[in-house]
């Protein structure tokens, strides 16, 4: 059974700091990994999706890396801003057909960026 862990559970940083969020998973047989952002009372917004054959993906100030063999992914946020405050969730997908394309989520990292 796939288990996804995110460390730290909560993080508070001053504005402008670069930061790294960690995600680990127990079963390396994944199809892809996805990072989401969740604002209080809102649904999930997809940030980055990395296919199992890729090493990293970038979007603006966000960079996600994937080391499938060691079961790890990191989300790097450069020059953090108060608007980045949210909960960040990573999720892995085993396949794309049938029940394999369900997402298994971590418990999230709650980020607060302070002025």
CB atoms within 10 A of CB 112: 13
Q: Which is nearer to other proteins, 64 or 89 (CB)?
A: 89
Strands (E), 18-99: 19-25, 32-38, 44-51, 56-59, 62-67, 72-77, 86-93
CA distance 113 to 84: 7
In angstroms, what is the minimal distance from the CB of 46 to other proteins? 7
Q: Which is nearer to other proteins, 14 or 41 (CB)?
A: 41
Would you tell me which residues interact with other proteins (CB under 8 A)? 4, 32, 34, 36, 41-46, 49, 89, 91, 93, 96-99, 101-103, 105-108
In angstroms, what is the minimal distance from the CB of 94 to other proteins? 11
């Amino acid at each position: 059974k796939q288990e996804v862990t995110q460390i730290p559970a909560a993080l508070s940083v001053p504005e402008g700091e670069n930061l790294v969020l960690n995600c680990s998973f127990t079963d390396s047989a994944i199809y892809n990994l996805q990072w989401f952002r969740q604002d209080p009372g809102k649904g999930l917004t997809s940030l980055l999706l990395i296919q199992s054959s890729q090493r990293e993906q970038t979007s603006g100030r966000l960079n996600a890396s994937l080391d499938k063999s060691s079961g790890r992914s990191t989300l790097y946020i450069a020059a953090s801003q108060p608007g980045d405050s949210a909960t960040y969730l990573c999720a892995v997908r085993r396949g794309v057909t049938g029940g394999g394309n369900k997402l298994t989520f971590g418990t999230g990292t709650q980020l607060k960026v302070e002025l």
